[in-house]
């Protein structure tokens, strides 16, 4: 974890044994990042990877549905600790994707963090009502982004 994020959030989210303190699973936290803006995908993924968070990126809701096995009705892809979704995307919005994720029985506890540059509170409210765990406003702050993601995942998962 970066020193800045570690200071901001009190402690490192990983212990020396290689387990994520957030998820309790071996290895780094793994995030599915969904955004139609390729530059944002590259930037955000780089910020997370620099902080020892594994990232799989999807440039559309369709790609995310495939990564999560939503289309084939199969078993959920259980290796993601959270999904980070842009609210405003073409074809299938982030809000619709969030609803699809929540509609799949295997993803009830998966934190879904909504992200957007929109200032339209009705869109943000719709995304949270559809099952979003929390919301992050773009533009993101590079120095604290990974720590903010770790904190929101921990909050969504609650005390263990």
pLDDT recorded at residue 27: 74
> pLDDT tens digit string along 2-38?
333 333 333 334 433 344 444 455 678 999 999 999 9
Sequence-distant (≥ 6) Cβ neighbours of residue 68 within 8 angstroms: 32, 76, 77, 80, 83, 101, 104, 107
| Residue of 21 and 48 predicted with greater confidence | 48
67: tokens are 């990564």
> pLDDT tens digit string along 65-119?
999 988 766 667 768 999 999 999 999 999 999 999 998 878 888 999 999 999 9
Residue range 47-67: mean pLDDT, rounded = 96
17-24: which pairs have CB atoms within 8 A and are 24 or more residues apart? 20/81, 22/81, 22/150, 22/153, 22/154, 22/157, 23/81, 23/153, 23/157, 24/160
Domain boundaries, the chain: 3-157
pTM: 0.81
> Which CATH number applies to 3-157: 3.40.50.2300, 3.40.1390.40, 3.30.200.20, 3.40.980.10?
3.40.50.2300
49: tokens are 């990877």
pLDDT recorded at residue 13: 41
Residue range 118-142: mean pLDDT, rounded = 95
């Amino acid at each position: 974890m970066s020193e800045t994020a570690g200071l901001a959030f009190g402690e490192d989210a990983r212990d020396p044994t290689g387990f994520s303190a957030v998820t309790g699973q071996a290895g780094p936290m793994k995030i599915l990042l969904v955004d139609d803006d390729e530059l944002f995908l590259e930037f955000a993924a780089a910020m997370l990877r620099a902080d020892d968070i594994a990232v799989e990126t999807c440039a559309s809701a369709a790609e995310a549905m495939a990564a999560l096995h939503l289309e084939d009705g199969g078993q959920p892809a259980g290796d993601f600790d959270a999904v980070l979704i842009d609210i405003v995307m073409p074809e299938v919005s982030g809000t619709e994707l969030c609803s699809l994720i929540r509609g799949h029985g295997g993803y009830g506890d998966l934190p879904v963090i909504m992200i957007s540059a929109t200032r339209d509170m009705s869109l943000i409210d719709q995304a949270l009502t559809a099952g979003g765990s929390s919301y992050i406003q773009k533009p993101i702050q590079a120095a604290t982004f990974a720590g903010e993601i770790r904190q929101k995942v921990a909050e969504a998962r609650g005390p263990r």
